[in-house]
Amino acid sequence: MWEERVRKREKGGFWIAFCAAFFYPIGWLVGRSRFQGLTHIPATGGALLVANHVSHLDPVFSGLVVHRAKRVPRFLAKHSLWKAPVLGWALAGSGQIPVYRETTDAQQSLRDGIKALQDGKVVVIYPEGTITRDPDGWPMRSRTGVARMALATDVPVVPAVHWGTREVLDGYRKRFRPLPRKPITVRCGEPVDLTAYRGRPVDAVVLREVTDLVMSSVRALLAEVRGEPAPTEFYRREAST
């Protein structure tokens, strides 16, 4: 708590202030939120926040937990969002990072994310690529881009989880139930130790191992929040990379 009080807020500019003014009321209206482990987000310097994804509401709460830690969140988000009125301006103005999936520009997204980390930014990534299809809400087998970013930089890799957001907005069942306000927990954990992988040649095997190691930390953190044992395997979609 003391660290949270003494750290200075990172400057974000007009569009970050605009988003904060918009998202804080949304966060309050749709749930009774608990933000935990904020001190695991470093006060300065780059950090990669790796989160599970159970609802389209998750980015609201990921952004709030980073902002409450007095940092500015930079999201890797699908590029089509930049075409939306107002939202597109906010994304561009606040330095968010577009993701061009299945295109020749796909690698540019990773390079932009790595550059942001090297520039001392907090980057938020959902390695599953979409909200989980696991029926019980556990993380799926994830894409290896998170490992590429983690190994290309020497910044803390902080696991984070959301739980309760799917009870408000369930994208696959197309359910939106904001009332009564439901408990929502966002918890950040201790950075993942990647010492054993630093300096090793980066190949497909290492990328998969690091991805699974990071997501296992996310899954274990989610098990703590849920108060139940996690599965031993990641749910697999039909086409997973």
Query: Please, which pLDDT band fits residue 84 given cuts at 50, 70 and 90?
Result: confident
State the total domains in the chain: 1
Asked if the structure places residue 76 within a domain, the reply is: yes
Residue 107's closest CA among 155, 148, 150?
148
Q: Which residue has the tokens 């991805």?
A: 211
Asked if the structure places residue 150 within a domain, the reply is: yes
Asked if the structure places residue 232 within a domain, the reply is: no
Asked if the structure places residue 90 within a domain, the reply is: yes
Which tokens is 62 given? 């990921």
Asked whether 153 and 147 are in contact (CB, 8 A), the reply is: no
Give yes or no for residue 59 having a pLDDT over 80. yes
Asked if the structure places residue 235 within a domain, the reply is: no
Domain that holds residue 210: 35-226
User: What is the C-alpha to C-alpha distance for residues 214 and 193, in angstroms, rounded to an integer?
Assistant: 9
Give yes or no for residue 166 having a pLDDT over 50. yes
The predicted-structure confidence for 106-124, as pLDDT tens digits, reads as follows 678 888 899 999 999 999 9
Mean pLDDT (whole number) for 19-25: 81
Q: What is the CATH number of the domain that holds 64?
A: 3.40.1130.10
Mean pLDDT (whole number) for 191-216: 95
User: What is the C-alpha to C-alpha distance for residues 79 and 84, in angstroms, rounded to an integer?
Assistant: 10
Residue 10's pLDDT is 75
How distant, in Å, are the alpha carbons of 26, 201, 223, 230, 241 from that of 162? 16, 33, 11, 15, 23
The predicted-structure confidence for 9-21, as pLDDT tens digits, reads as follows 777 777 677 778 8
Asked if the structure places residue 84 within a domain, the reply is: yes
Mean pLDDT (whole number) for 161-166: 96
User: What is the C-alpha to C-alpha distance for residues 101 and 122, in angstroms, rounded to an integer?
Assistant: 22
Asked if the structure places residue 193 within a domain, the reply is: yes
Asked if the structure places residue 149 within a domain, the reply is: yes
Instruction: Report the run of H or E that residue 99 belongs to, with start and end.
Output: strand 97-99
